[in-house]
Amino acid sequence: MTQSNNSSDHGAYHQHSALFNAFFAISMTVGRGPVGRCVADLAGLTPDDQVVDIGCGPGTAVRVAAGRCANATGVDPSPTMLRFGRWLNALGRTRNVALVQGSAERIPLPDHDATVLWALSSVHHWSNRADGLAEAVRVLAPNGRLLLVERLVKPGAHGGLTGDQVDQLMSDVEAAGFTDVYRDTQSAGRRVLNVVRGSRGPAN
């Protein structure tokens, strides 16, 4: 898998203090293993798959994917997340894995580079969903699989999407050109996840 490394503008990612970012990066590793394994199961990963994780944080799910597929690339706008994730990759001697700076709206990867593209708890951070989904269509190979995973939250709460917002996400995924779009609910550890899935379809 090839990638460019344009770090100029990665959407509207908000720059917090270094201390906040470091704390957030560490917190993003706690309890994330079950979510990574759950989405890898749902995606039905094979050794031939090439996985891209949008908004990968410190890369827990990217490392799970790397153990089951040809290669896995995590994309995130946060330098702190990427630095921490690369350190964890080195610690675990994880091969066939790359973490690159970018955003959903500007994925620094070539066309048709992935057979699976997923985003775990990141869609609610995207600054422009239509642009992010257009990038997903571009980066996925024909018949590529899309999985968007979010915690279900109550209206007014942060950190996920409400039921109505998940319905809207499904509509947006269909409007972007994905086919066979559906949603379901999955348990991963103590978390209940909403999963929106779609297929990129065979067209080039």
For the segment 76-95, give every residue that binds ligand SAM (CB under 6 A): 76-78, 81
- Which residue number, 88 or 181, has a Cβ lying nearer to ligand SAM? 88
Give least dist CB 149 to ligand SAM, A: 8
CB 166 within 8 A of CB 112: no
What backbone phi and psi angles, to 5 degrees, belong to 32?
-90, -15
Q: What six digits make up the tokens of 185?
A: 């609910």
Q: Does residue 194 interact with ligand SAM by CB under 6 A?
A: no
Contact 118, 51 (CB under 8 A): yes
Question: What does DSSP say about strands 71-76 and 50-54: parallel, antiparallel, or unpaired?
Answer: parallel
CB of 171 to ligand SAM, least distance (A): 20
Match 């571009």 to its residue by tokens: 138
Task: Give the nearest distance from C-beta 114 to ligand SAM in angstroms.
Answer: 15
In the complex, the smallest distance separating the C-beta of residue 123 from ligand SAM, rounded to whole angstroms, is 9
166 binds ligand SAM (CB under 6 A): no
49 versus 76: smaller Cβ distance to ligand SAM: 76
Cα distance between residue 194 and residue 129, in whole Å: 17
| 79 vs 201, beta carbon nearer ligand SAM | 79
What angle, rounded to 10 degrees, do the helices at 163-175 and 129-139 form?
50
Which residue shows structure tokens 């869609």?
A: 123
Using the rule CB under 6 A, which residue among 38, 108, 116, 125 binds ligand SAM? Answer: 125
Part of the chain binding ligand SAM (CB under 6 A), chosen from 84-92, 118-126, 138-146, 175-183:
118-126
User: Which residue has its beta carbon closest to ligand SAM?
Assistant: 57
> Which residues ranging from 33 to 72 are in contact with ligand SAM (CB under 6 A)?
35, 54-57, 60
Among 126, 166, 181, 196, binds ligand SAM (CB under 6 A): 126
Q: How many CB atoms lie within 10 A of CB 84?
A: 22
Give CA separation, 169 vs 102, 115, 152, 172, in Å: 22, 21, 13, 5
Q: What's the angle, vertex CA 105, arms to CA 16 and CA 157, rounded to 5? A: 55
Binding site for ligand SAM (CB under 6 A): 11, 13, 28, 32, 35, 54-57, 60, 76-78, 81, 103-105, 120-122, 125-127
